[in-house]
Amino acid sequence: MSVSTIKKDYLIKLAKEGRRVDGRKFDEYRPIKIQKGIIRMAEGSARVELGNTMVLAGIKMLLGEPYPDSPDKGVLSTAAELIPLASPTFEAGPPREKAIELARVVDRGIREANVIQLDKLCIEPSEKVWVVFMDLHILDYDGNLFDACSLAALSALNTTIIPNERFEIGKDEPLPLDESPISCTFVKYGDAIVLDPSLDEEEVADARLTISLDKEGSVRAIQKGLKGTFTIKEIETITKIAQTQVKKIRKLLGDKDGKSKKQEKG
């Protein structure tokens, strides 16, 4: 799959006129659709459609040993699969750098904001804690996996029920959660900086920035990608846009904070 020069020229030309290929404004998201609790076998799940990008996040919980440096806290483990199903450009095999970066960035966004109250997931200090596995399954790739996965992960956590009954240690209850940080991803091509890049825009992008903000608007996680650069002024513009957009996304996710519907079983 080669990106034609014509395509890159066209996108840059449009950008100079303040336009994007799909008619969006520079700081506009594509339509977002979230469906929660759709996988019965999972303790929590959510499917997110961000434009034509589609990702599925599944949460599984198992009992395991804590990390030695945090003996009374539960464990969070995030993995992403860029399966060939989602794009002709994804190859089969173990996760490579793109998938690993994606998983780690989404993980950091959730970990650094202490979304999951890991201290409430300890059964026996140093011996037994809950391990929360978050698996991000990409189903259709049309750009901006970072935001799609982050939304899917948060929505899935929102629906997660701890399977105490299956492990015979009590009654099932929702996963204890705190406020979610929201991530916004931007790319730069030519002189334009756009929010929520589609695949076309990602293919011609020189640089990319993902920024995660919490409820107070404080910065929780950042990741810059690709080989191009950003000026300080550009970073400032990005953070300003992020602050506004994050509020909109937060509304979409709905306010949860520990309250989640009990998943329909069976």
Partner 1 sequence: MTEKRTIVIPGTIVGEAGKKKPGMGTFQENNNIYASRLGIKVDKADYINIIPLSGVYNPSTGDNIIGTIIECQLSSWMVDINAPYPAMLHVNQVPWKVEFGATGQYLTVGDSIIAKIGLIDESKKIELSMEDRGSRKIDAGIILDVQPQKVPRIIGKSGSMITLLKKYSNCWIFVGQNGRIWIKGEADKVDFIVEAIKKIEKEAHTVGLTSRMEQFLKERQK
Partner 2 sequence: MNKNEIQLIKKGKRIDGRRPDEIRPIDIQVGVLNRADGSCYLEWGGNKVIVAVYGPRELLPKHQQDSTRAKVQATYNMAAFSVEDRKRPGPDRRSREISKVTSEALSGVVFTEQFPRATIDVYIEVLDAQAGTRCAGITAAAVALADAGIPMRDIPASCAVGKVDDTLVIDLTKEEDNYGQADMPIAIAPRTEEILLLQMDGHLTMKEFNTGLELVIDACKKVSEIQKKALLSKYGSSLS
CA distance 1 to 146: 22
Applying CB under 8 A, does 72 fall inside the site for partner 2?
A: no
Q: How far is CA 18 from the centre of its chain?
A: 28
* Cβ 56 to partner 2 shortest distance, Å: 6
In the list partner 1, partner 2, none, the entry touching 237 (Cβ below 5 to 8 angstroms by class) is: none
- Of the two residues 62 and 226, which places its CB atom closer to partner 2 in the complex? 62
DSSP 192-229: EEEES--HHHHHH-SEEEEEEE-TTS-EEEEEEESS--
In the list partner 2, partner 1, none, the entry touching 5 (Cβ below 5 to 8 angstroms by class) is: partner 1
Give the tokens for residue 175: 């996963």
CA distance 234 to 48: 29
Applying CB under 8 A, does 54 fall inside the site for partner 2?
A: yes
In the list partner 2, partner 1, none, the entry touching 252 (Cβ below 5 to 8 angstroms by class) is: none
- Of the two residues 92 and 232, which places its CB atom closer to partner 2 in the complex? 92
In the list partner 1, partner 2, none, the entry touching 7 (Cβ below 5 to 8 angstroms by class) is: partner 1
Cβ proximity of 140 and 86 under 8 Å:
yes
- The two beta strands, 122-124 and 128-140, are antiparallel
**Contact positions vs partner 2 (CB under 8 A):** 38-42, 45, 52, 54, 56, 58-60, 62, 79, 81, 83-88, 92, 94-95, 133, 135, 137, 139-142, 166
